[in-house]
Amino acid sequence: MNVLLTGPTGYIGRRLMVRLLEEKDVHLRLFVKDRRRVSEETRQDVEIVEGDVFNEEDLRRAVTGIDIAYYPIRFFWAGTEFDELQKIFARNFRDACIHAEVKKIIYLGVLGSHNTEDNLLKNVIETGEVLSALPDKIRTIWLRAGFVLGSGSSLFEVLRNLVQKVPVIFTPRWMEAKLVPLGIADTLEYLTQARNLEGKDNLIIDLGAEMMSFRDMLKETSQVIGRKRIFIPLPFTAHRLFSFLLMLVTPFSYKLSFLFIQGLKSRSGLPADIRQDMAQHYFPGISPLSFQRALERALNAIERNQVISRWTDSLAGISYADAEDEISRAVYRDIRNMDFGGVPPEKIFRAITSIGGKQGWFTFDILWKMRGFIDKLAGGFGTALGKRVESELRIGDMLDVWKVVDLRENERLLLEAQMKVAGKAWLEFTIDGTTHIQTAYHFPRGLLGRLYWYSMLPFHFFIFRDMIESIVKRAETGDERPG
Q: How far is it, in rounded angstroms, from Cα 421 to Cα 375?
A: 9
List the beta bridge partners of residue 230.
Answer: 168
Is 408 inside any structural domain? yes
Full residue range of the structural domain in which residue 123 is found: 2-312
Element (H, E) at 159: helix 154-165
* Amino acid (one-letter) located at 322: D
Question: Please, are residues 381 and 321 in contact by the beta-carbon 8 Å criterion?
Answer: no
Looking at residues 290-296, what average pLDDT do you find? 96
Q: Is residue 211 domain-shared with residue 89, that is, in the same domain?
A: yes
- The pLDDT tens digits for 330-372 are 899 999 999 998 899 999 999 999 998 888 888 888 888 888 8
Q: Which of 180, 212, 441 is nearest to 330 (CA)?
A: 441
For the chain, give the number of residues: 483
Task: Quote the pLDDT of residue 357.
Answer: 86
Q: 40: exposed, middle or buried (C-beta count within 10 Å: 0-12, 13-18, 19+)?
A: exposed
The yes-or-no verdict on residue 118 having pLDDT over 80 is no
Q: How far is it, in rounded angstroms, from Cα 263 to Cα 113?
A: 12
Question: Please, are residues 311 and 385 in contact by the beta-carbon 8 Å criterion?
Answer: no
Q: Is residue 63 domain-shared with residue 169, that is, in the same domain?
A: yes
Task: Quote the pLDDT of residue 80.
Answer: 46
Q: Is residue 274 domain-shared with residue 356, that is, in the same domain?
A: no
Structure confidence at residue 480 as a pLDDT band (50, 70, 90): low
Is 331 inside any structural domain? yes
The yes-or-no verdict on residue 158 having pLDDT over 90 is yes
Task: Quote the pLDDT of residue 437.
Answer: 97
Of 312, 335, 355, which one is at a domain's C-terminal end? 312
The mean-pLDDT minimum among 263-277, 303-317, 377-391 falls in: 263-277
The mean-pLDDT minimum among 99-108, 181-190, 306-315 falls in: 306-315
Task: Quote the pLDDT of residue 320.
Answer: 62
Question: Please, are residues 176 and 213 in contact by the beta-carbon 8 Å criterion?
Answer: yes
The yes-or-no verdict on residue 26 having pLDDT over 70 is yes
Arithmetic mean of pLDDT over the chain: 89
The yes-or-no verdict on residue 407 having pLDDT over 90 is yes
- Assign residue 425 a region (left: φ > 0; alpha: ψ between -120 and 50; beta: otherwise): beta
Is 482 inside any structural domain? no
Is 167 inside any structural domain? yes
Structure confidence at residue 78 as a pLDDT band (50, 70, 90): very low
Q: Is residue 64 domain-shared with residue 158, that is, in the same domain?
A: yes
Looking at residues 159-187, what average pLDDT do you find? 93
- The pLDDT tens digits for 29-68 are 999 988 888 988 999 999 999 998 889 999 999 999 999 9
Q: Is residue 146 domain-shared with residue 293, that is, in the same domain?
A: yes
The CATH number assigned to the domain holding 243 equals: 3.40.50.720
Q: How far is it, in rounded angstroms, from Cα 38 to Cα 435?
A: 29
Is 414 inside any structural domain? yes
| Entry pTM | 0.89
Q: Half-sphere exposure of 255 toward its Cβ, with a 13 Å CA cutoff?
A: 8
Of 293, 312, 331, which one is at a domain's C-terminal end? 312
Residue 75 or 193, more confident: 193
Q: Is residue 345 domain-shared with residue 295, that is, in the same domain?
A: no
Structure confidence at residue 76 as a pLDDT band (50, 70, 90): low
Question: Please, are residues 12 and 73 in contact by the beta-carbon 8 Å criterion?
Answer: yes
Is 483 inside any structural domain? no
Of 271, 290, 312, which one is at a domain's C-terminal end? 312
Q: How far is it, in rounded angstroms, from Cα 177 to Cα 185?
A: 24
Q: Is residue 220 domain-shared with residue 270, that is, in the same domain?
A: yes
The CATH number assigned to the domain holding 465 equals: 3.30.530.20
- The pLDDT tens digits for 255-272 are 899 989 988 887 776 665
Structure confidence at residue 226 as a pLDDT band (50, 70, 90): very high
Q: Compute how many other C-beta atoms are within 10 angstroms of the C-beta atom of residue 483.
A: 5
Structure confidence at residue 442 as a pLDDT band (50, 70, 90): very high
The yes-or-no verdict on residue 144 having pLDDT over 80 is yes
Q: Is residue 306 domain-shared with residue 337, that is, in the same domain?
A: no
Q: Is residue 243 domain-shared with residue 371, that is, in the same domain?
A: no
Number of domains observed in the structure of the chain: 2
Residue 110 or 225, more confident: 225
Highest mean pLDDT among 36-40, 95-99, 311-315, 319-323: 95-99
Q: Is residue 440 domain-shared with residue 293, that is, in the same domain?
A: no
The yes-or-no verdict on residue 382 having pLDDT over 70 is yes
Q: Is residue 252 domain-shared with residue 375, that is, in the same domain?
A: no
The yes-or-no verdict on residue 131 having pLDDT over 60 is yes
Q: Is residue 246 domain-shared with residue 353, that is, in the same domain?
A: no
Is 53 inside any structural domain? yes
Is 402 inside any structural domain? yes
Residue 204 or 271, more confident: 204
